[in-house]
Structure 1
Amino acid sequence: MAKKKANSEQESLLEQIQCIAQGLGEMFAPFTEVVVHDLRTPKNAILTIHNNLSGRSVGDPATELGLARIADDDYPQILSNYPNRFSDGRTAKSTSIGIKDSGGHYIAALCLNVDVSLFRGIQAILGQFCLTDSAPMKESLDPASADAIRERIDRFAVNLATTPRLLKAEQRRELMQELKGEGYLEVRKAMDVISQHLGVSRATVYNDVR
């Protein structure tokens, strides 16, 4: 009877967390990924995912942080604003909130991952806009680096009030022509970097540049 009551409590908590996650996802779209992990089932922990920026899927396993909470009820409940990185190299800022049941055991986690690379593009645009003299803005980035390509793509997307992964086909083609004209396509593995940052295949990128 006690076990049944505990399970009912946990399910109720998870339902509430999923509602919170949906609200956060809608408010901070498309810049913030919001994920709910069910730590009771670590092998397929991801219960819901909003604004998918990491490429993960519902049913994917728990992260190292999730496993740490499962192993230790005294693990910090809130880890906020720590540096992270998506699998394609984009920088991120993350916050993870552990959820405990009435017995003090972790049963879930609510995680937010912000795509910082886009805001760096916005920062660059604002910096250029706020210049008060006629001197050109100095570029401190190495033009041969993958980060320079990503930030160039971010600036293009920001000018259209969108994100790299939400660019339409005609916008991607325009972007590719600009990258080609500025010499970015000559960078080693440029097509790999571009395809990962746009969230499309290499074939799509090659087709867009024609």
Structure 2
Amino acid sequence: MSNPSKERQILVEQLKQVAKGLAETFAPFCEVVVHDLLHADQAIVAIHNNLSGREEGDPATELGLARIADESYPQVIANYPNQFADGRQVKSTSIGIKDSGGRYVAALCLNVDLTLFGTLQTMLGQFVSTDGTAGVKESLDPPGADGIRQRIDQFAARLATTPRALKAAERRALMSELREAGSMEVRRAMEIVALHLGVSRATVYNDAK
């Protein structure tokens, strides 16, 4: 473009749209910020899912200043450890945007508050834990179900594929092999095979014919 100022304005405006879309997708866990690097003292021109407490018109970060000073600074820095002013741990990604002359004019920054996920991880850990001291061991799986799944996995591995990627002819060969091994005598065998292959029971019945 012949007008550098106009080009910068267009780049920043388009970046704002990208930021808005990303913010709506990853709300509320990810703060998305657009920096105008040509106005370092008032660099922030858009901020979504505000987790850091910053505002539009706030100055550029140290990373932003580094890009302004050095055009060879890496354009993408992903998943680096960061920290909000109140001490919360953050995972950040910063993407520098250059104009047609190779000059950094803007940056898109993503900041994920890890404390939110730490809390969620703790809650999930508590939810999935079981009491191993209760003295009760039960399985709702029919006896022999694991053996069927193992045979299916081994069959697929010999073909260098996965159970769910088996083609019709391969499934028919598999069913023949399972029958010969006596695996189809297991209670609910058809259902077990169907679930492991990711197909309907009708398909399994058809393959078994």
> Into which bin does the TM-score normalised by the smaller protein fall?
0.5 to 0.7
- For 1:37, what is the secondary structure of its paired residue? strand
Q: Who wins on radius of gyration, i.e. which is larger?
A: 2
- Give the stretch that moved more between structures: 123-132 or 100-109: 123-132
Quick one: which amino acid aligns to residue 69 of structure 1? R
Segments of structure 2 that go 5 or more residues without pairing to the other structure are: 134-209
Quick one: which amino acid aligns to residue 50 of structure 2? N
Partner in structure 2 of residue 105 of structure 1: 103
- For 2:125, what is the secondary structure of its paired residue? helix
For 1:93 and 1:113, locate their aligned partners in 2 and report how far apart those are by CA, in whole Å.
Answer: 6
Partner in structure 2 of residue 82 of structure 1: 80
Partner in structure 2 of residue 67 of structure 1: 65
For 1:76 and 1:105, locate their aligned partners in 2 and report how far apart those are by CA, in whole Å.
Answer: 12
Partner in structure 1 of residue 156 of structure 2: none
Aligned residues: 133
The Cα of 1:129 is off from its aligned counterpart by 1.4
Quick one: which amino acid aligns to residue 130 of structure 1? V
For 2:26 and 2:132, locate their aligned partners in 1 and report how far apart those are by CA, in whole Å.
Answer: 36
Alignment counterpart, residue 119 of structure 2, candidates 118, 121, 130: 121
The Cα of 1:132 is off from its aligned counterpart by 2.3
Quick one: which amino acid aligns to residue 90 of structure 1? R
Provide the TM-score with structure 2 as the length reference. 0.62
CA deviation digits over 1:161-209, x for unaligned, max 9?
Answer: xxxxxxxxxxxxxxxxxxxxxxxxxxxxxxxxxxxxxxxxxxxxxxxxx
CA deviation digits over 1:110-129, x for unaligned, max 9?
Answer: 00000100101111111111
- For 2:111, what is the secondary structure of its paired residue? strand
Alignment counterpart, residue 6 of structure 1, candidates 1, 4, 10: 4
Partner in structure 2 of residue 28 of structure 1: 26
Provide the TM-score with structure 1 as the length reference. 0.61
The Cα of 1:89 is off from its aligned counterpart by 1.2
Q: RMSD of the TM alignment (CA)? A: 1.3
For 2:47 and 2:129, locate their aligned partners in 1 and report how far apart those are by CA, in whole Å.
Answer: 40
Partner in structure 1 of residue 42 of structure 2: 44
Partner in structure 2 of residue 57 of structure 1: 55
Quick one: which amino acid aligns to residue 40 of structure 2? P
Partner in structure 2 of residue 95 of structure 1: 93
CA deviation digits over 1:54-101, x for unaligned, max 9?
Answer: 111100000000000000000000000001111111111000000000
For 2:127 and 2:51, locate their aligned partners in 1 and report how far apart those are by CA, in whole Å.
Answer: 29
Quick one: which amino acid aligns to residue 101 of structure 1? D
Quick one: which amino acid aligns to residue 27 of structure 2? A
- For 2:106, what is the secondary structure of its paired residue? strand
For 1:26 and 1:89, locate their aligned partners in 2 and report how far apart those are by CA, in whole Å.
Answer: 25
- For 2:18, what is the secondary structure of its paired residue? helix
- Matched ranges for 1:152-167 at <5 A: none
Identity, in percent, stands at 64
Quick one: which amino acid aligns to residue 88 of structure 1? D
Partner in structure 2 of residue 207 of structure 1: none
The Cα of 1:133 is off from its aligned counterpart by 2.0
